[in-house]
Amino acid sequence: MKSLLESQDIILISPKRWAAQVAAVAESVVPQRCFTNDAGEECDIYGDPLPRMTIDADGIATVPVVGTIATGLPSIAAAFGFVDTARIRADIDDALGNESVNAILLNFDSPGGFVGGTPELGSFIAEAASQKPIYSFTAGLCCSAAYWLAAPSRAIMATPSAEVGSIGVYVAHQDMSALAAAMGVVVRVFRSGKYKGAGVPGTSLSDDQAASIQQRVDSLAAVFKGHVIEHRPGVTDESMQGQTFMGYEAGKVQLTDGTVGDLNAAKKMLLADLDA
């Protein structure tokens, strides 16, 4: 899971400020708050309708978790492949409050996302699962932050070609100091503490700064792994080294509970489990 973005200078900007910058860029590039297609539906930049929660005749509320997971995004971000944790929470809340809903199925196709909001939503899903049965399914990706959200499910189902896992955390830092030196650029950072200004473009990380970043990564990774083990005690540390597993492999390492052909097959397995 990306700690914020794949550059160390961004990680030092608060999530709220980062979201504000995204909003400012979006507003300057595309004035509309959302896209609509010819049918009047909210859609992505290709004109395809954005996925929305549905409730079928069997009382299964299917909640889509599609795209990069983030928090506090402008509404237009959905058109560019992001999904806000607030939208996922709202859908689950609606399903919990609907008497016609017997179970909730989280339908994942997400590579993961950002730290902000993910642990909190994972805890919310775990609490929601004590009120109504929650299941997860993926025919695409259920990786990293997405798996954090899926872990508390009563069962996780995947198609054979799906990818599941990528349990871990990383921060990428680009050391541009050699490039700056080659261009004759000298970057000086005036700092109030040894960790302030870490990763400013054109500089290298000190040993203390690098150790501090690694400590943060290790700390969050421990929380992530602990969350998975709490809800799926059969998962071993060897399966949580950042790798992904194909759907047909994921069950062997306890990351999933069954392989199905498609969403309808997942619903049938869900209903059979409820009746058991």
How confident is residue 40, by pLDDT bands cut at 50, 70 and 90? low
**Other C-beta atoms lying within 10 Å of the C-beta of residue 156:** 27
Q: CA-CA distance, 195 to 66, in Å (whole number)? A: 36
How confident is residue 60, by pLDDT bands cut at 50, 70 and 90? very high
Q: Between these two residues, 19 and 225, which has the higher pLDDT value?
A: 225
Per-residue tokens: 163: 């990818």
Per-residue tokens: 225: 């792994």
Q: Is the Cα torsion angle 144, 149, 151, 155 positive or negative in sign?
A: negative
How confident is residue 174, by pLDDT bands cut at 50, 70 and 90? confident
HEC-encoded secondary structure of the chain = CECCCCCHHHHCCCHHHHHHHHHHHHHHHCCCCCEECCCCCEECCCCCECCCCEECCCCEEEEEEECEEECCCCHHHHHHCEEEHHHHHHHHHHHHHCCCCCEEEEEEEECCEECCCHHHHHHHHHHHCCCCCEEEEEEEEEECHHHHHHCCCCEEEECCCCEEECCCCECCCCCCHHHHHHCCCCCCCCCCCCCCCCCCCCCCCCHHHHHHHHHHHHHHHHHHHHHHHHHCCCCCHHHCCCCEEEHHHHHHHCCCCEECCCHHHHHHHHHHHHHC
| pLDDT for res 14 | 32
Q: What share of the chain has pLDDT > 90, as a percent?
A: 62
Is the pLDDT at 181 greater than 50, yes or no? yes
Q: Is the Cα torsion angle 242, 243, 248, 253 positive or negative in sign?
A: negative
Is the pLDDT at 26 greater than 90, yes or no? no
Task: Quote the pTM value.
Answer: 0.85
CB 169 within 8 A of CB 177: no
Q: What are phi and psi of 10, to 5 degrees?
A: -75, -35
* Closest to 114 measured CA to CA, from 193, 216, 23, 6: 6
| Average pLDDT score over residue span 244-266 | 97
Domains, the chain: 14-167+227-275 (3.90.226.10)
